[in-house]
Amino acid sequence: MTVAIIGLGLMGGSLAMAIRKLPMIRSIVGFDHNKEHEKEALALKLVDKIVSFDELKKTDIIILAIPVDAIIACLKELEGVSEKTTIIDLGSTKEKIIRSVSASLRKNFVAAHPMTGTEKFGPGAALEDLYHDKVVVLCDMEDSGEHQQEIAVRLFSQIHMRLIYMHAHEHDLHVAFISHMPHLISYSLANAVLHHEAHENILNLAAGGFRSMSRLAKSSPKMWGDIFRQNKTHLLDSLSYFENELAQMKKLIQQEDWKGLDQKMIDANSLHEILK
């Protein structure tokens, strides 16, 4: 099969590296609105060639590795592909994207969210093992065609991903807490420090804890702005829960209730029993 990857940055480039040796893949072609990304992806041998948008519509599998608003716009341009074509998006939101898919294209479409990534972007950020042993969430699969379901499952399984099935609404609710809220908090933390501390103090005093918490603030504002807009309702709910937790800890400090604060921190430690 020939795979077309739209978006040749971290996610698209890494997927190209991961699938290149699969028996089911004959060739990989690419397309990106950023022409420098196209040149870089070719130079790095992430794709075999760059094609026009009309050419990529004739391929067997089309991967949408672009920001979530761009996915919605792109799906409108993919009308008229063969009934055997499989279109897979890698967006971090699912409900709004799925609602945007036309009835004529719905069987072609598979809504996927690989739970992986880094704060870096562009073709040079691509990693061969980015997807290995990571979770991919497949949403509302019962509405995809049988052929498209089979192709998506084969593709993700063969690059050693762990498949989880969810409804789109459930997915967006969970990722608001586990992914989207942490990114927004990281941006907020970075701005709070930038507005309060001189650059030389940040450079001299920033240690592992601050660097870890602010790492996500290096992520693409364009990509994350789209995600925040699409998942606004669930994101605001998750932020309300976070604000409540933060207010409780602030109150414990104000009241010098160090025992109560210790218990809050012990409770938080239990998260890493789940994650280990």
Residue-range domain boundaries for the chain: 2-166, 171-275
- Tell me, what's the pLDDT at 112? 98
Are 46 and 8 in contact by the 8 Å Cβ rule? The answer is yes
Closest C-alpha among 212, 171, 170 to residue 189: 212
Hey, what's the torsion of the CAs at 41, 32, 70, 137, to 10 degrees?
-30
User: Residue 59: phi, psi to the nearest 5?
Assistant: -80, 170
Burial class, 122, CB count within 10 angstroms (exposed 0-12 / middle 13-18 / buried 19+): middle
For residue range 53-84, what is the model confidence (pLDDT) as tens digits?
999 999 999 999 999 999 999 999 999 999 99
Q: What is the CA radius of gyration of the chain?
A: 21
Closest C-alpha among 183, 104, 96 to residue 140: 96
Are 68 and 97 in contact by the 8 Å Cβ rule? The answer is yes
Helix (H) or strand (E) holding 43: helix 35-43
CA atoms within 13 A on the CB side of 62: 29
Residues 6+ apart with CB under 8 A from 138: 110, 111, 112, 152, 153, 156, 163, 164, 165, 166
- Cα 37 from Cα 269, distance rounded (Å): 42
Superfamily, domain 2-166: NAD(P)-binding Rossmann-like Domain (3.40.50.720)
- The DSSP code sequence of 135-188 is EEEEESGGGS-HHHHHHHHHHHHHTTPEEEEE-HHHHHHHHIIIIIHHHHHHHH
- Tell me, what's the pLDDT at 18? 96
Q: What is the mean pLDDT of residues 94-116?
A: 97
pLDDT of 205 strictly over 80: no
pLDDT of 117 strictly over 90: no
Structure tokens, 265: 């921190």
pLDDT of 203 strictly over 80: no
For residue range 135-169, what is the model confidence (pLDDT) as tens digits?
999 999 999 999 999 999 999 999 999 999 999 99
Residue type, 28: I
Domain topology for 171-275: 6-phosphogluconate dehydrogenase C-terminal fold (1.10.3660)
Structure tokens, 34: 């950023």
> What is the share, in percent, of the chain residues with pLDDT greater than 70?
100
